[in-house]
Amino acid sequence: MEKQKETVVKSIGLTKIFRDFWGRPKAKAVNDLDFEVYEGEVFGLLGPNGSGKSTTIKMLLGLLYPTSGKISVYGYPPDDIRTKNRIGYLPEESYLYKYLTAEETLDFFGALFNLSIAERKNRTSQLLEMVGLSHAAKRQVGEYSKGMQRRIGLAQAMVNDPDLLILDEPTSGLDPLGCREIKDLILFLKKRGKTVIISSHLLADVEDVCDRVIILYGGKIRANGTLNELLTISEQCSLKLPSLNPNETERLLKILRENLKGEEFSIEHPKRSLEDFFLEVVQKAKNERVETFGAQGGGGIADYLKREEKDKEKEKILEQLVVNEEKEEEEKKEEKSDKILSELLASNKKEEEITKKKETEEAKIALQDIEKIDEKLSKLLNSDKKTE
């Protein structure tokens, strides 16, 4: 039976009204918001400017108090210290102390989590490696480019190995390489059972990583669900085919035109994304060892963040060892039957190879047959219409 997932964030009737100097209501930024975020989920908070995303996140972090309604994180109010211990937050912009170096910044934020000096040192070097800023560890954050500042911002959000990571526009200001790394990181965290809340305008990024999203407009939820539920267009379908020569394409178009009768359709070559192409170029440059003073590609996930995963792997190995012993005897019994099976499979493979060869030779003939069948079908369809 599947284990029931813990509710990480619970918002009931969450409302925030901003007031003017005299206490008169000025704007209703968030209006009666109900939503839940579950453990291990990547949750997207989407909406245009002024839709209430930032206000919701600020209430989630205890920086704003709800006018009415309730929001809880791990069952506690957002400003509870117990909650904050489990949260990592990357703001929209880097609000870091510009005179501190990257190392000092991470050390400072580590100290706020009461980490020991040794632990802070260890995590700092791993995080800097992870975000690709090891070479700039001694430089002041104020000297960093925007992208580098985002990276150090991300590193500080990860310093406590948070259970809940709140990312406000995580990829803004980052190069595609950084974007990909952040997305990889989010997916990695998800794999580790961590919860991630993302607020973003870059829908492609959200689409790549989010399990579930809510779309806000005017402080209210306008859409809520998994990406599959929200994005699947059940009225349309797409086909993926190997590359066709012009004649084949023409024939296929003809069939489609005749059958779809005026409905719009298109055939084109699929394109890889610009992001993929960019990453390919950068990887090439890296392989050629071109020098750069900016952020370098991250050195992979920090070791201390992998701890749980390693533990899980160890557990798996131990479990396997125990199971293996039990299975050994069964396997011996099955060995004989396996041999027989493998012999059978080998003979099958040979047969398949022969048939493949035949198929390639027969492919052209098959196409011609298809054409014939098509013709027959179209004739039949025409005759059916006439009879009708």
Partner 1 sequence: MTPFLAIAKLTCRATMRSYVFHFLFLLLLAVIFILPNTIISDGTAKGLIYVSLKYCLGVSGFILSLSTIWVSCFTLSNDLETYQMHMICVKPVSRVVIWLGKLTGVVFLHGVLLLLSSIIIYIFTIWQFERSTFSDEEKEKIKNEVLVGRRVYMPEMPDFSKEVEEQITKLNLAIKEGKPGAPDKQLSLAEKRKLIKEIRNQIIAKYGEIPFGNFREWKYKALDPLQKSPLSFRYRIYVGKVSSKDQRQTLGIFGAYVPFYENEEDAKKGKEPKYELIPKTSEPESFMCGVFLEDKISPVIIRKDGTARIAFQNLDPEKASLFFQPNDGPKLLEPKVSFFQNYLRAAFVIFLRIILLAGLGASAGGLFSMPVAVFIVISYLIFGISASFVIDIERDFGYDEEALRASESLWETAARQTSHGILAVIIPMQKFEVSDTVADGELIEFSFIAKFFTEIFLIRGLPLFVVAVYLYKRREIGLIVKK
- Which one, 100 or 253, has the nearer CB to partner 1? 100
- 105 or 200: CB nearest partner 1: 105
Can you tell me the distance from the alpha carbon of 284 to that of 277, in angstroms, rounded to the nearest whole number? 11
Q: Where are the alpha helices (DSSP H) in 134-245?
A: 146-158, 176-191, 203-209, 227-231
Of the pair 109, 144, the CB lying nearest partner 1 is at: 109
CB of 18 to partner 1, least distance (A): 8
Task: In angstroms, give the least distance from the CB of 195 to partner 1.
Answer: 16
Show the DSSP H helices in 222-302 as ranges.
227-231, 246-260, 274-287
Shortest distance, CB of residue 305 to partner 1, whole angstroms? 18
Give me the least distance between CB of 111 and partner 1, in Å please: 4
> Closer to partner 1 at the Cβ: 84 or 123?
84
CB 227 → partner 1: shortest distance, Å? 28
Of 91 and 175, which CB lies nearer to partner 1 in the complex structure?
Answer: 91
- b/e for 13-27, b at 16 or more Cβ within 10 A? ebbbbeeeeeeeeee
Shortest distance in whole angstroms from residue 144 CB to partner 1: 15
Please list, in sequence order, all residues whose beta carbon lies within 8 angstroms of the beta carbon of residue 8, skipping any fewer than 6 positions away: 37, 38, 39, 41, 73, 74, 163, 164, 195
C-alpha angle with apex 168: 166 to 169, nearest 5 degrees? 135
Whether residue 46 contacts residue 200, with contact meaning beta carbons closer than 8 Å, is answered with yes
**In this structure, are strands 220-226 and 212-217 parallel, antiparallel, or unpaired?**
antiparallel
Question: If we measure between CA atoms, which residue out of 286, 288, 306 comes closest to residue 132?
Answer: 286
Nearer to partner 1, 81 or 365 (CB): 81
Footprint of partner 1 on this chain (CB under 8 A)? 18, 55, 58-59, 61-65, 81-82, 84-85, 87, 89, 91, 93, 95-97, 99-100, 108-109, 111-115, 156
Q: Among residues 62 and 193, whose Cβ is nearest to partner 1?
A: 62
Min dist. Cβ of residue 6 to partner 1 (A): 20
Q: Which of 153, 171, 237, 241 has its CA nearest to residue 208? A: 171
Chain-centroid distance, C-alpha 169: 14
Tokens of 156: 């500080």
